[in-house]
Amino acid sequence: AQSVTQLGSHVSVSEGALVLLRCNYSSSVPPYLFWYVQYPNQGLQLLLKYTSAATLVKGINGFEAEFKKSETSFHLTKPSAHMSDAAEYFCAVSGNFGNEKLTFGTGTRLTIIP
Amino acid sequence: DSGVTQTPKHLITATGQRVTLRCSPRSGDLSVYWYQQSLDQGLQFLIQYYNGEERAKGNILERFSAQQFPDLHSELNLSSLELGDSALYFCASSVGRGRDTQYFGPGTRLTVL
């Protein structure tokens, strides 16, 4: 079975500061991991994904995430926050072949302080 | 724009009623997924179809059913609606049967009064 834990339901950072959103996973198979962003009243947009290639994954809008097997983590970072980054962020793990559902974390709402 | 379309955008109905949500996947995608997003349950997987066949089921209620048609669009039918069914329903699509990236539609917001 797969599961994801996102630490911190709300994170606030100042504009220009480092963004760090935490995600820990549990998976019975080598994981495929995803970060999605949801802006108000919109659907989920893929930020980046890990599929067992490079452990440091670069995504859109300057975000990146590092897969650490020893820590079962896949934290999302961005060096310098922008006002437009304010949104809800979801970490997800894919199921195994035969049931490729995404299991999502509870989400982290990111607020940017001007 | 992900290329996944969902209609309607909003739906307001009464308890006991039945509604149908529609999803058109990205061109070329064969898999369709349905998810429910609510404040108390978060994002939950409901069901997956691949090329017209049911592939996987989540915690989908018996009052809910879905199908994928030969043109690959999918419909989610919700019947005997209850207040607790109020939620955002997302459709996602992916290329095949593997652990491909799922692209999400804008969702249908269902309000049951």
User: What tokens were used for A51?
Assistant: 């599929």
B43/A104 CB distance under 8 A: yes
Report the DSSP pairing between strands B10-13 and B108-112: parallel
Q: In this complex, do B99 and A94 lie within 8 Å of one another by their Cβ atoms?
A: yes
Residue A99 clears pLDDT 80, i.e. is over it: no
DSSP state at residue A71: T
Query: From the candidates A102, A104, A108, A109, which should be mutated to test the interface with B, based on the most B CB atoms within 10 A?
Result: A102
> Do residues B11 and B81 lie in contact, with contact meaning Cβ atoms separated by under 8 Å?
no
By DSSP bridging, strand A64-68 and strand B10-13 are: unpaired
pLDDT digit string, tens, across residues A57-87: 999 999 999 999 999 999 999 999 999 999 9
| Strand stretches in chain A, DSSP E | 3-7, 10-14, 19-26, 33-38, 44-50, 56-58, 64-68, 73-78, 87-94, 102-104, 108-113
For A15-59, how does the pLDDT look when each residue is reduced to its tens digit (9 = 90+)? Answer: 999 999 999 999 888 889 999 999 988 899 999 999 887 899 999
**C-alpha span between A36 and B90 (Å, rounded):** 13
Q: What is the pLDDT of residue A96?
A: 78
Peptide bond connecting B8 to the previous residue in cis, omega within 30 degrees of 0: yes
How do residues B10-38 score in pLDDT, each as one tens digit? 999 999 999 999 999 999 999 999 999 99
pLDDT at A52: 80
Amino acid at B102: Q
- Reported as a single tens digit per residue, the pLDDT across B36-62 is 999 889 999 999 999 999 999 998 999
**Is B37 within 8 Å of B88 (Cβ atoms)?**
yes
Which tokens is B74 given?
Answer: 């999918």
Measured CA to CA, the distance from residue A75 to residue B103 in angstroms comes to: 21
Given CB atoms, is A100 within the 8 Å cutoff of chain B? Answer: yes
Structure tokens at B46: 């409901």
Residues of A in contact with B43 (CB under 8 A): 90, 102, 104, 107
Contact B43 A90 (CB under 8 A): yes
